[in-house]
Amino acid sequence: MPDRTQGVAFRFVLFGAALAFSLAALAKDGAKPLTLASALKIAREGNEDFLISQEKLKQTKLLRDKAWSAFAPEVALSGTLTHSDKEIAFSGRMISKLDAFAGKATATLTFLEASSITGLMEAYELAKAGVESTKYAMNELSFEVARAYYAVLSAEKLVEAAERSVATANEYLSAVTGRIDAGEALAIDEMRAKMELVSAEGDLVNAKNARDNTQDYLAFLLNMEPPLVLEPPPVPAVPEGTDEALTEKALAQRPDLIAQEHNVKAAKKAAVGSWVGFFPTFGLTGTYNATQNTGFSGDPFSWNLQLFMQWVLWDGGLTAATVSEKKSKLSEAQLEEEKLAHSVKLEVKQAKRDLDNAGANLATAQKQLELASLSREMVMSRYNAGLATSLELTEADDDLRQAEVQLVVQDLSYQLCILEVLRVIGLNPMGKDIPNP
């Protein structure tokens, strides 16, 4: 029964995007091979999803600036033009002009508002969570690029396998033709050989189409134009350690889990901040006025300072409802953290199991190809000697073709399983720590 990762392998090979020309042909044209490390770097610099993640990170960090604004004074300017029905003067002083300009400058500083303090701490936790969430999102995109990269190489191998199948079918047809000329075979044998050749040529067309699709998809992720020349990377190193050790590593360094930990801390700060809504607020307001209506003082300029206290004793139950809401959101965040931790443990266990299974399947596919190749050679020798039928040779060719395809698929599945283990324990596709965004 095919596992989840093997299904991914089939999807990438058959429906992904592809290599428009063979690596050898492109190398002759002087194209520089693209390494996996280079592909990941190009994606981080040009892929729209990567750039969108960067913009979201900038927005998250601005939460701290917005929170700090609560501790800065608020300065405002206002002006008015007043038209009266008549002028009023008294003892040579203008009480009210017919048209009078007035201006006011106000500075307000709230120096004791407990909710601002908890809001600032909450903003810092949310900013940290945003950094980790962006790291996780960008790493997920990196693995998408890596999977597509390996799929392109596997698609090319499938094309090569299909080309060998066409060569084998031609060899079969040539052998049958020779025996017919010698009067040692029937016309039905030649018909079977031609059918084998047509089938092999059809498989080659399908393989090339799948290769082209896979190439297009990788080029899309890299924001480049195909064809791309890829340099086969070394087989990813299998992470060492027991399931328990890998799980502990994942719990300690997975960015999505770290992000959720900061979300929980932010929810705690918000819960505390909701309680301080019952506390009074203290502040200072300074006002400077300028007017053409000097009044009885005769001075167009004036200023004042006000120390104020505001204490909302009853707001219709809004603060009490907010307290309950923040407590509920804290519980939700804690449950999300527990759920994610359980999910991480399961992902590590399944990824490790899938890797072991893929390794066994790969070893089996290698052995099957060896046996299929040997069997085909034996059947061809027996057929040339008149000891085997054309049907036996057809079956041997089919077995060889299927064994070659299966080996490519299982090899890709094994590589994708290694990548999956790296992903679930919190590393990048190169097996290193995830870089900061």
Domains of the chain, start order: 4-69+114-278+318-424 (1.20.1600.10)
pLDDT at 331: 95
User: Amino acid identity, residue 337?
Assistant: E
pLDDT at 24: 38
pLDDT digits (tens, 9 = 90+) for 35-53: 999 999 998 888 888 888 8
According to DSSP, residue 186 is labeled -
pLDDT digits (tens, 9 = 90+) for 47-103: 888 888 888 888 888 888 888 888 888 899 999 988 888 887 777 777 777 888 889
pLDDT digits (tens, 9 = 90+) for 185-221: 677 878 888 888 898 899 899 999 999 999 999 999 9
pLDDT at 5: 39
pLDDT at 184: 67
Contacts of 181 (CB under 8 A, 6+ apart): none
pLDDT at 31: 58
pLDDT at 25: 40
Cβ-in-10-Å burial (0-12, 13-18, 19+) of 307 comes to exposed
Contacts of 248 (CB under 8 A, 6+ apart): none
For residue 42, the Cα-to-chain-centroid distance in whole angstroms is 15
Q: How far apart are CA 289 and CA 303, in angstroms?
A: 6
- The secondary element (H helix, E strand) that includes residue 376 is helix 318-384
pLDDT at 149: 94
pLDDT at 185: 67
pLDDT at 7: 39
Contacts of 275 (CB under 8 A, 6+ apart): 323
Could you say which residues of the chain have pLDDT below 50? Answer: 1-30
